[in-house]
Structure 1
Amino acid sequence: MLGGFGTLPGKLIWPTSVTTSPDGDLVVKDSGTGHIQIYSPDGDFKQRFPYGFEPIKGMGDVTCMRSGVILVTNGTRIIQLFSKDGELIHELKSPKLTWPYSYGITVMQSNKIAVSDWTDGGKINIIGVDWRMNAILKTNAIEGFHRPVRIAVSKNEDLLVTEGQLFGRFQGCCIKVIDKNRHLKRTIGPRYGKTFSFENPSGISVDSPGNIFVTDEDRNYIVMFNPDSSLSAVIVSEGLQGPSSLSVMEHGLLAVADCYNHCVKIFRYK
């Protein structure tokens, strides 16, 4: 377990997002303190730096590029770019941007960015960037979502999007798989397996064989699906309070941002 409640370096208050850097470090977005905190693969605290605060508490995400650059969303039109040492490199923004309520973010194999947005019910923005100039080239929107939260990308460029619920309105509550042509390929949930159903799916991650991992913030579960989207197992069903994000690590490990326990927990699934 990493963190624990507190404001000192290495401590956490409402961690809402976790990702794994190319070096294997864990990068955690801590909404309660407005910091990005970085831990070694062994769980040792390395450093932290501020990103600011969200207009809506807990809204936003963190991910890493292959270069090690850290990308942060915070529920606004701005995407922040930080070096792995915590230096603010650039802010991607433009008067033409159309994602005022940005949430989840992931980097695709083409180095485009996918960002979820709650505007008009919800959409996913695919953003082309000139990374030499840190300039936005083009944005395409995929419509038809209900409160899209986080995004993962598979080896074949499928986008996997969690849809939660908003203020008790049970819309979505599923995983939508979008193919590389940006068409809906399949939906997982709300019911899955014989006896389970999603209540508020949030975090999502994919390992190299294509297994899909999902956190459910209301049921406090972590669920694993096979690459064909069939249920594999409920791999964690106790000890979590508001698991909002997760990331696949090496050696068959999962890091989970356990928001209301103010920590990141690591589980072995292999």
Structure 2
Amino acid sequence: MHIGTTGIWSPELRLHGDSGEIADAAAELDSHGWGALWIPGLGGGDILGDTERLLAATRNTTVATGVLSIWRHPAEEMAAGHARLRKEYGHRVLLGLGVSDAAAARHAGGTYRPLAALGTYLDRLDQAPEPVPADERLVAAMGPKLTELAARRSAGTHPFLVTPDFTAGARAILGPGPLLAPYQAVVVDPRPDSARATARGFLAPFIGMGHYAKSLLRQGFSEEDLAGGGSDRLIDSVVAWGSVDAVDERVKAHLDAGATHVALHAISADPGLPRTQWRELAPLAR
């Protein structure tokens, strides 16, 4: 499956209320040449329906879930839906899977043992009447054990809130072949104060979540860096802000560290689809 070296990651492509505007925006993004459109799992919902809306509006780009929670979406339903979409739209669906957190597991009546739970979920995808091929699914791996599992049983991994140094470490674990597609938050704004404020407005809730906090601490940040929505050091490390050229430098840093694809999330202080930012970022589509 070809997804290029850059893509657009967007909750707005699921959350925005106007489905016609979403389809129009997706078609424009496809025309820019982005290799993939990534939509997050959020709190569940009809992620296959949202995926199909983007597939129907585009001709070339892959649509990837980045990522759906294994606790909210039964494997058998995802396998059947993936097979249906593949028959209708070809090999343009990449199923990204995540183990979420302990609260999600408890809500689903499960036990939060990420490695075992994800392994079982992958088994169920393999055992479905129409299995999801390993090269059409990937794993949101933040630690070495899940990264190793991703290398063995999927196309690769899609880590969230990571630096190029993390990317280099993940590549060392994955080996040369698997897909490594980090999420990269982006604020197209050259003003440090307003760019950082915009970044914090989106990222603060994630930084406060236990599993993401542990990942950031493993990456070398301190408890002080995680306080108050994130220190300037943390924000500058996990968010690419400034000019489009500055964003491009961060993309290149990930690619030089071993990424095969970088999923860019344009964060805006304004509500709605960030189409102005996407148009500014269009030269980075490849």
Query: Which of the pair is proportionally richer in strand?
Result: 1
Larger relative contact order (Cα-Cα within 8 Å, sequence gap ≥ 6):
2
TM-score range, shorter-chain basis? 0.3 to 0.5
Query: Which of the pair is proportionally richer in helix?
Result: 2
Normalized against structure 1, the TM-score is what?
0.34
Q: Which has the larger radius of gyration?
A: 2
Normalized against structure 2, the TM-score is what?
0.33
